[in-house]
Structure 1
Amino acid sequence: MAVPELAPRRTMGGIVAVWVVAAVIGIAVGLFAGDEWRAQWLAVGLGGCLVLAFAVQLWSGRSQGFTERVAASALGALVVMGVISLGFGLAAIVPG
């Protein structure tokens, strides 16, 4: 029989933390990687965000909704890095 938690921990903070790390990685890759290597480094950064999502959710110690929280972290990191990548791609196209 499972005992309900009296004061469950908040889980949104860990998810948003992975999104923030994804934004920092995306901006760093966009600024420091060359145009020909940017996609490869973004893939490596996304892999790092996936590992970070697992680590953060394992550290929280809650088993209920683990898969959903990891999926939300990873999907959010994918969207954040995709939007940042789109911005750098459009900036490369625009003459200036």
Structure 2
Amino acid sequence: MSYDYEGPQASTRLAVEFLTVWMEQNRQAAVEHIVSVLDSEGGPERDFAIAGLLNLGHFLVIQVAKANGAVGAEELTEAAHEYLAYLSVHLPDEP
């Protein structure tokens, strides 16, 4: 597979790929795939992948805020922060 390693959309797309593989529940296969992408010749830097995962997390937590009725940038940000604070205390053992 070919990757374009430029910009936040590209890093977020990589994060979507990694999360999609991870969600298939075969964690060993997911780890092997992720490592093979990161270690491939010309592959992305680790910080690029981490930035993509953070972009994806940010996007998803804003979607949660929207689904819970938040509107406007300030309210969305506040609701997202509240949700993350809640998760930090009430994080389930299994996703």
Query: Does the TM-score normalized on the shorter chain lie above 0.5?
Result: no
Task: State the TM-score, normalized to the length of structure 2.
Answer: 0.38
Relative contact order, higher structure (CA 8 A, sep 6+): 1
Task: State the TM-score, normalized to the length of structure 1.
Answer: 0.38
